[in-house]
Amino acid sequence: MISFADTGKAQHLRFGDLVIDEACMFAHRNGQTIQFTRNERALLLAFTGNPRRLMSRNRLLDEIAQPGSDASDRNIDFLVNRLRLKLGDNAKSPLYIATQYGEGYVWIATPSRPGPIDAFLIIAPSFELEKHPLRQQSLSLVDRLCDRIAPAIGAGRKVAITERNLLAAYDKARYLLQVSFHGDSGRLNCAATLREMPAKRIVKAFRLHLDTADDLSFVNEAARLSEGVVAALQQALNDASDGLGVPTHETPEARLKSASQLLSTSNPKWLASGERLASSREQDPFDADAAIQWGLHLFARLVLTNPFGDRISLEERDRTESEIEGTVLECLPEIEDKPLLMLGAAKLLYFINRGHFDLAAELAERALTRTQDSTAGLPILGQLSYARGRFDEAVAFFDRGIKAGEAGTEFHRHLRVLKCIALLAAGHSPSSAALATDISNLGSDCPPQIALMIGWMAAQPDRKLPDASERALAALGPDHAAAAIEYLYFTSARHVTSQEGRANVMRNMIAHVSRLYGRQAIPDFVLRSIGSAAGA
């Protein structure tokens, strides 16, 4: 049986572009309102309430046989045809009402599935009270819940009420509050379950004590349940923004913003905290937070180095990345309920490039759900798409972060650089990639070595560099120029699964280093990785 949402709110049935209101008094199509007479409404209620069932003419006559009905409308065939005309239906090729000749009519239309509801919290009531005298009080209780919870959890978090049997459509809800009513021997039972979506993990369950003889009990229990739900949601938000040394006195929103900065870039904090983290690890080897932070410290050792300085040997890099891998994999079972640690783990598994992209993506996607779509997960999700060659998808992630980030911040600059690299990997020309990301304007606080590296990466390979950039590359010498090539390869190119994509990232810098120092300045393992595409 087709049902409407039992929320006390105006609800509708949708059949493609036709929208019928719950009472079947009118419908809308393409901005036009369709009015129904009393008898048409009675037939429409009977049809939509009994889809795919044969409705005999006698049954339909009973539906319209009410005081005040127009006797001329008792010609059911005439009335059905008039209803068809208003619905835009055709008896020969029906979309709504099919004729069963000699027997009656069948409503054959299937309601359109509603789209996902984009809300922080969905309140989904379920009633076994179709004709219960307390049905309206129960509906009012649900409305009170919405009215109390919405302002208490913040203006930016939408609360909506909808039908419980549409759970499959809730893929954009962060939390679901299921409220069940059951009438039994004069008693009204009510229970509520708060779930985290989309996993449907139970956060908290509540039992309401409703006195059917006391209206005030409905008001009081709505207040008590609202307070319990708000407290549980606030605790969940705190838990979702806990970890990585983010200050606990900040609001969840501020903590997530701090996490975005910590996780998106090669933050110097991780490099400076090595001694403290080593001590923490020694005192408690099973502390997952300290383990992920230690992994980020090791990551910083490899990334926050002078790209023009002494090269990290391949053996040392392999040992460090092996330690990162072992540390992260060992603590994965302990970080399941810590989204920030999951994002940190995803970042590290991506960076070491050891075949963990699927695992990293799963961690990042689940963490992003728990953090209310904060910007913290966008860089790593973009990088994982980039690595798999889905460059348009990667750019879309980076653009979301750029739009949400504050211009001039390290986070904003980092995403612009990632976008530029993705565009190059996709085969865009250096000039178009640089223009699309304003890469020549990275800000005065961008480390000069990094600014030079990015400039060489995004420079036209067949044109001379700007004078200052040319002098800087010429001053490096072949060994330090080779170190710069290695740095770009390990931080930005090796992750791309396609050889052509790797070559597209490396080609421009290789061209300029080769022009000054010859092909022998390019490390052999880099040339092997990009193959013949290097000179394309």
CB contact at 8 A, 206 and 192: yes
Per residue in 498-516, pLDDT tens? 999 999 999 999 999 999 9
Most confident of 18-22, 33-37, 148-152: 148-152
Per residue in 257-290, pLDDT tens? 888 778 876 778 888 888 899 898 889 988 999 9
CA distance 397 to 387: 13
Q: Closest Cα partner for 250 from 462, 498, 242?
A: 242
What pLDDT does residue 246 have?
83
Name the pLDDT band for 115 (thresholds 50, 70, 90): low
What pLDDT does residue 424 have?
98
What pLDDT does residue 251 have?
82
What pLDDT does residue 134 have?
66
Torsion over CA: 44, 48, 54, 59 (sign): negative
Tokens describing residue 247? 């200050």
Per residue in 418-462, pLDDT tens? 999 999 999 999 999 999 999 999 999 899 999 999 999 999 999
Cβ neighbours of 435 (radius 10 Å): 15
Cβ neighbours of 12 (radius 10 Å): 15
Name the pLDDT band for 387 (thresholds 50, 70, 90): very high
Paired strand residues for 136 = none
Task: Catalogue all structural domains in the chain, each as residue range(s) with its CATH number.
Answer: 12-107 (1.10.10.10), 121-240 (3.40.50.11830), 245-301+314-383 (1.25.40), 399-536 (no CATH)
What pLDDT does residue 111 have?
82
Paired strand residues for 206 = 192
Per residue in 52-100, pLDDT tens? 999 998 888 888 876 555 544 458 888 999 999 999 999 889 999 999 8
Per residue in 474-496, pLDDT tens? 999 999 999 999 999 999 999 99
Q: Going by C-beta distance under 8 Å and a sequence separation of 6 or more, which residues neighbour residue 44?
A: 20, 24, 36, 83
Torsion over CA: 398, 400, 403, 405 (sign): negative
